[in-house]
Amino acid sequence: MRRSWLKTLLIFTGVAFMLAFCLVPFLYMVVVSFSTTPEFLTPGVPFKFTFDNFDAVLVGQSLHFMDYLRNSVLLSLISAFCCVFIGSLAAYAVTRLPVPGKMYLLFLVLAVSMFPQIGLVGYLFKFMAALGWINTYQGLLLPYIAWILPLSLWILVSYFSQIPIELDQAGLVDGCSRWQILYKIIFPVAVPGIFSTFLLAFILAFNEFMYALMLTTDYRTRTIPVGITMFQGLHGQTPWGNIMAASVITVLPAVLLAIIFQRYIIGGLTRGAVKG
C-alpha cells in the first residue's frame, strides 16, 4: 500500500515537471503578449494588461502580419493537400500494384528525407531565380511538396498496407478501375491515416524556415516563421509585445490541433518514424 502511494507521488511530480517544462515558455509568450512592457519581471515594473499588441498585429499595416499569416496558411494547406494526393497515389501503387523496384523507391525516399536542406537551397535559389519564380507561391510550393512527400509516403504506405487486399479484389470484380478503387474504397477506409498525414504535412510546411528565408523577398509570399524574425520597431528596439502577440495568434491553432488531434498526430509520427 505504501509503495503504491509513493509511486503515485513520483508520477505526480514527474507529470508536474513535464508540464512545466513543456508549457512555461508558451505561457510566458502569452503573458508578455498581454503586457504593456516585457520588463514586468524586473522589480518596480508592474504588470499592466493591454490589448494593444494584438491590435498592432491584427489591424496595423506596417508589420504585414496578416499577409504573412495568409501566405503561411495558403501555402501549408496547398502543400498538405498535394502531398496527401500524390503520396496516396504512390502509396497505393507501392502496396497494391506490381511496380518494379518499389523497395528501392522506399529507401531512396527515406534517404532523401535525411538530406540537409542547406544542400538544396542554394541550387533551388538559382533555379527559381532563372525561372523568375523568386517570391512567388509556386516557387515555394514545389520545393515544399517535394520536401514533405517522403514522410507523407511512409505514413500512407504504413496505413495502406494494413487495409485488406480483398477490398481491392471486390472492387476489381465489380469492374472498378484502380483509380476508382483508390478513391471509392481505399480513401474512405483510410480516413484516419489520410487525416494524420494531412495534419503532419500541414505542420511541417507551416514550420518550414530555410526555403521561405531564401526564396521570398517581401510580404507578398513571406511566411510567418521568416516574417516574425524580421519584426522591428520604429526606433530599433525589439517590439517584444508585438512579436509575442503575433506568436500567440500563430501558435494557437497549432496548440489546439495538437491537443484535439493528438491521437492522429502521434499515430502519424510513430508510423513515419518507427516503422521507417
Partner 1 sequence: MPSRNLTSVSKSAAHELRTGCLFILPLVVFIVLFVLLPVLGTFINSMFQDVSFVGKRFYFFKNYEHLWSDPGFFKALKFTLLFILVSVPFELVLGLLFAMLLDQHIPFRGLLRGCVLIPWAIPAAISARTWELIYNYSYGLANYICLTLGLSTQPVNWLGTSVGAFSAVVVADVWKTAPFVAIIFLAGLQAIPRELYEQGRIDRANSWHMFFRITLPILRPVVIVALLFRTIDGLRVFDLIYVLTHGGPGGSTASVSHYAYMHFVSGDFGYGSAISVVLFVIAFVFSIVYVKVGRFSTEVL
Nearer to partner 1, 5 or 21 (CB): 21
In this structure, what is the dihedral angle of CA atoms 158, 159, 164, 166, given to the nearest 10 degrees?
Answer: -100
Distance CA 191, CA 115 (A): 30
Smallest gap from Cβ 222 to partner 1, in A, equals 12
Task: Map residues 198-217 to x or -, x wherever contact with partner 1 holds by CB under 8 A.
Answer: -----x--xx-xx--xx---
For residue 3, the minimal CB distance to partner 1 (Å) is 9
Shortest distance (Å) from residue 178 CB to partner 1: 5
Q: Give me the residues paired with residue 49 across strands.
A: 35
Asked whether position 97 contacts partner 1 by CB under 8 A, the answer is yes
The span of 59-67, 159-167, 185-193, 262-270 binding partner 1 (CB under 8 A) equals 262-270
Q: How far is CA 267 from CA 15, 156, 197, 262, in A?
A: 22, 11, 9, 8
> Does 133 help bind partner 1 (rule: CB under 8 A)?
no
Cβ neighbors of 93 (< 8 A, separation 6 or more) are 99, 102
Residues between 39 and 58 that touch partner 1 (CB under 8 A) = 39-42, 45
Among 81, 127, 133, 195, binds partner 1 (CB under 8 A): 127
Report the distance separating Cα 258 and Cα 265, nearest Å: 7
Provide the residue type at 219 as one letter. Answer: Y
Asked if residue 223 lies in contact with residue 132, where contact means CB atoms within 8 angstroms, the answer is no
Binding to partner 1 in span 71-90, by CB under 8 A? 86-87, 89-90
SS3 49: strand
Q: At what angle do helices 65-96 and 102-112 cross, to 10 degrees?
A: 160
Q: Which is nearer to partner 1, 116 or 132 (CB)?
A: 116
- Site map (CB under 8 A) of partner 1, residues 231-250, x = contact: ---------x--xx--x--x
Q: Residue from 84, 157, 190, 226 that binds partner 1 (CB under 8 A)?
A: 226
Draw the binding track, 149-188, toward partner 1 (x: CB under 8 A; -: no contact).
xx--x-----------------------xxx---------
Q: What span, in angstroms and rounded, lies between the C-alpha atoms of 223 and 76?
A: 10
With CB under 8 A as the rule, give the number of residues binding partner 1: 97
Q: Which is nearer to partner 1, 220 or 263 (CB)?
A: 263
H-helix segments, the chain = 2-33, 52-58, 65-96, 102-112, 118-131, 137-160, 166-173, 178-180, 187-189, 191-207, 210-215, 224-229, 240-260, 262-273
Examine residue 228 and tell whether it contacts partner 1 (CB under 8 A): yes
